[in-house]
Chains A and B, each alone.
Chain A
């Protein structure tokens, strides 16, 4: 960051948006700070950092709509939040618990983990399975995207340069759902080879609504729409579970990377989905 000449603590979201919009400065948002590396090249060199960690965007609270998590909330706070643990069978805190290592979890924020999306980001599968809403403020005011829209392309493309993710909202109905999350990685603190999150709304044994999401297997995290719909109106049995796992595997174009080959990840998806679904009922 040879050209960095200012580090600013703005006093409001509006001021942040203004600072990001300055044409003469290459300004970047900083929250946890774990994804800001050295400049890739001189022309893209960052010359201003705007720190959003002192804007009151660090909170986990219940509203009429559900669970609201401020974008600058460290995942360590989500991991330790009994409020968050009451949603979606605890998978929001569970996924947060699996991010990196202890010092990293004190730094990595929920907003950063989803907007500076990497293939190994641990939180997106939970947002997709939980049908979360991502709230954004930019130069044209406020807007929001459902998790599926937010991750339909890389969020870096979706977001304008003045856009600031301010809050992630999980719907109130997640308070009465079952859920489960598995992160498959070589060691406890390595990057994910495959992560799977699932949320089931149950009426007795009957599944009213199901949402399965898979991340790290493909460049973008995916909501398994077809596989999830197979579960709706049904009761879980071994045959159905195998069918859901097979359809998920077929619908996800896996990629090779350092943490697993594409074919290995496809096998993992098919093997892990039964574990995730059965775990929802435990």
Chain B
């Protein structure tokens, strides 16, 4: 079957099997920042934004996304032009192995788009679906908070 997706602002058509998951489609098409973790909807490594909201690519059928707009970590920023969240994650030491980070950044971005001045609890809640098994969570909460300040022009 054929589906149409907008990925990181670019309209594309894909020929897919009905059983293909969004995660597998994205990785097949070279969006390798989207990671496979648990494959059952717990860990959040495969988080991408669909129409601005985080969902799990490992559980989502690609067919279901027909006509939707998707953002992967490749759409957030680049090494040359990083998003403030990315800069702050690096500066605050919020990244160790980095496997969970693409999903975490996208969850944080989705929240900041709706709520530019979040309380700590709101940050924790926004990141509740993204498990990190090496850094812990303190630095990532700090980094999100400080990115929010940068984005608001506070610091």
**A residues neighboring B (CB under 8 Å):** 1-2, 4-7, 9, 30, 33-34, 36-37, 49, 51, 53, 76, 100-104, 106-107, 188-189
Contact = CB atoms under 8 A, between A and B. Distances in A.
Contacts of A100: 41, 129
B72 to A, nearest CB: 14
Contacts of B128: 101-102, 188-189
Chain B, interface size category, equals 20 to 34
Given A2-B19, A7-B61, A103-B129, 13 more contacts: A4-B17, A6-B1, A7-B64, A30-B61, A30-B64, A37-B40, A53-B64, A102-B125, A102-B128, A103-B55, A103-B56, A103-B107, A104-B56
Interface string B116-148: 000000000111110000000000000000000
A7 B44 contact: no
B53 A106 contact: yes
Contacts of B34: none
B85 to A, nearest CB: 16
B18 A6 contact: yes
Which of B17, B60, B125, B128 has the most C-beta atoms of chain A within 10 angstroms of its own C-beta?
Answer: B128
A34 B41 contact: yes
B100 to A, nearest CB: 13
Contact of A101 (B18, B40, B44): B44
23 contacts: A2-B19, A4-B19, A6-B18, A30-B61, A33-B59, A49-B61, A51-B63, A51-B64, A53-B64, A101-B128, A102-B125, A102-B126, A102-B127, A102-B128, A103-B47, A103-B129, A104-B41, A104-B56, A106-B54, A107-B55, A107-B59, A107-B60, A188-B128
Nearest to A1: B19
